[in-house]
Structure 1
Amino acid sequence: MSAIKWMAAILICGALAVHAPRAEAQTSRPDDEITKLTEHVYLFRHQFHQSAFIVTNQGVIITDPISREAAEWLKPELKKLTDHPVRYVVYSHDHADHITGGQTFADTATFISHWAARKAIANGSRSDTPLPDLTFTDKMFIDLGGQHVELIYTGKNHSDNSLVVLVPQDRLLFAVDFIPVETVAYRTMRSDYPDDWIESLKQVEQLDFDVLVPGHGKIGKKEHARQFRRYLEDLRAAVQSALTARMGLEEAKQRIRLPQYEAWQRYDDWFPENVEGMYRYLSERQKAAP
């Protein structure tokens, strides 16, 4: 376990938009917007992705830069809020759709990630994504400007290197891609680890927080972590029953339904793909078993 001095970022619900048009004048949502959440914490949204940053009298800390386009929009906006530079950039995990664009802040920032994310980034070809300068294995405590933040690794889930950012003073957790709020899993879960994911969510449920901020979609609460864990468990059980009954993939995709989740976002189009992903995963695990 490592520790460094830092102050962290992230979001809370319900807030003031500081760079959005007045609601009555909007015909569509802007591609980029900043929302002030607390005295020091801001939410940054770029299209369908979200990250956060904290402005302190010792510098700015941001989470995922998202993309080069997003980062280049954000950098001059930060200068409107503070004269202090970006001191830290925290990567939530190694996936390019969240961490590309970090080079925009490389003139002043130190980059942080889980150690396995650094390895994955180093093995890729991402010229606009600086390698992390600081990494950790299980947990890292960061303090800056009177704020305390915990970076925590809860195991494999949507990736093998996702960290969560816990902000104890705000009872808030920032988690990217593996705890969607009332939304099914992304498509066929091709990069995921379903059994580990369930165990990871159980670890998250042991953390002390009230507000859950994901990297996409609406803000939730701790209960949503439990709900999504139950969704994965129900999906796994239904697909395992289909496999036991020697049901083929296409038949399983047509017949398996979890009606208790039909109101969740993307159920109609992504749920059959979730079935496919879980079917593939359980089939491969069954073949590998001695």
Structure 2
Amino acid sequence: MSPSNRRSFLARGVALAALPAAASLTGGAFAGTASAETLPDYAPVPPSALGPALNEQGYYVGRVEKNLYWVTDGTYQAAFLTTREGVVLFDAPPTIGHNLQRAIDQIAAANGVSRKVTHIVYSHHHADHLGASSLFGKNVVRVGHAETKRLLVRDNDPARPVPDVTFEKQRTLRVGGERINLAWQGTNHTPDNSYIHLPDHGTLMLVDVVLPGWVPFYNFNLNEDVPASIAAPAKALSYPWKHFIGGHLGRLGTRDDVVVYQQYITDLTDNVKTALATVDPTPYFTKYGDNAWAGVKTYLDAVSDYAAAPVVKKYTGVLAAADVFTASHAFIILESIRLDLGYGSQIHP
């Protein structure tokens, strides 16, 4: 199997591992119903969206800048900083799992530095980014936002030990002569998602907001605060950095990636407003009569599809999966501009 095919195969396997097994949830009801002939076709992934090939263990580790490194399994990303006092790990996705330590060992052996993880910095509380934290034992200083600690106490997940050190607005973490600036700038993807800036390494880590080379995951990345998530990339660009770690998929990002993402979301938002002013709701509610939810669903689906179509056309070949998820993003943004911003809201006379 060629390296590129292996990378694609492993990435698909990792993506499946990150989701519930459908058959186990349905008693096997869906078994055997899908085939290559019945599944939909999507546009090819642009080569620019793909990262480096994975090794035989299913990961890639590479230098970001100086003694800062990143790790990916093709679907998730983490990073680590080697210092004279040990290793600072940024996030611990369970799909990478034990490969995190293997990646650290690989770099430590090559450079003659410590392999011991002394600190883990949490970007936010979600299990898909922290679920391997417990692999590093109890004698590790875990650092995260105060809300991250509150949410992890609530979740009571032994795979995600709560932070030992927290911050409210900002904190500079100093380990082994290195500095890491942590900041909370309000809710975006989650109430606790943090900006992790390494100014001496020209790097910003902001997870689950911009996925370099790709459109967001289903339903606008499941962002809990849509307006703030739309604003988050501008805050990211206010920092001085060259390298961007977004937490997902196979490659690092650049400032241009963030700008392209911003334009994608701006185009989609503008088209949603146009669609709201263009698509007539009358036939949908006329057809379904007393079944209000059927009328609402078909109307909002029509608005979302109308808004998404020109964006899909513009970004196919530019951002991977533009044809896969854009309509779902349009629906979430549609609901946000209606409910959060009051766009199109009318008072009955």
TM-score range, shorter chain: 0.7 to 0.9
The DSSP-based 3-state class of the residue aligned with 1:126 is: coil
Q: Which residue of 1 aligns with 2:169?
A: 138
Are 1:163 and 2:194 matched, yes or no?
yes
Q: CA deviation at 1:38?
A: 4.0
Say if 1:166 and 1:73 are closer, same or farther in 2 by CA, change over 3 A: same
TM-score normalised by length of structure 2: 0.69
* Gap change, CA 1:104 and 1:146, over 3 Å in 2: same
Distance 1:172 1:119, change over 3 A: same
Gaps of 5+ in 2: 8-53, 282-298
CA contact (8 A) 2:62 2:70 kept: yes
Paired with 2:3 and 2:242, the residues of 1 have a C-alpha distance of 33
Aligned pair partner of 2:237 in 186, 198, 205: 205
Whole-Å separation in 1 of the counterparts to 2:97 and 2:241: 29
RMSD: 2.6
Tell me which residue corresponds to 1:260: 314
Gap change, CA 1:75 and 1:187, over 3 Å in 2: same
Give the match for residue 101 of structure 2. Answer: 75
* Aligned equivalent of 2:329: 274
Aligned position for 2:121: 90
**Any conservation in 2 of the 1:34–1:45 contact (CA below 8 Å)?**
yes
Q: How many residues align?
A: 267
Larger radius of gyration, structure 1 or 2?
Answer: 2
Alpha-carbon distance in structure 2 between the residues aligned to 1:201 and 1:25: 33
Cα shift at 1:183: 1.9
Q: 1:24 to 1:197 in 2, by over 3 A?
A: closer
Structure 2 vs 1, CA of residues 155 and 118 (structure 1 numbering), >3 Å: closer, same or farther? same
Deviations 1:87-132 (A, max 9, x none): 1101111111101121111332111111122222222142210001
Which residue does the alignment assign to 1:55? 82
Instruction: Compare the two structures and name the one with the higher strand fraction.
Output: 1
- List per-residue Cα deviations over 1:238-258 (Å, max 9, x = no partner): 213323445521212332222
Q: In structure 2, the residue corresponding to 1:150 is in which secondary structure?
A: strand
Could you tell me how far 1:39 is from its partner in structure 2? 4.2
Give the deviation of 1:188 after TM superposition. 0.8
Q: How does 1:83-122 map to 2 (within 5 A)?
A: 83=114, 85-122=116-153
> What is the Cα deviation at residue 35 of structure 1?
2.2
Question: Percentage identity across aligned positions?
Answer: 19
Q: Which moved more, 1:201-210 or 1:35-44?
A: 35-44
| Conserved? CA contact 2:84–2:177, under 8 Å | no
Conserved in 1, the CA contact under 8 Å of 2:189 and 2:223? yes
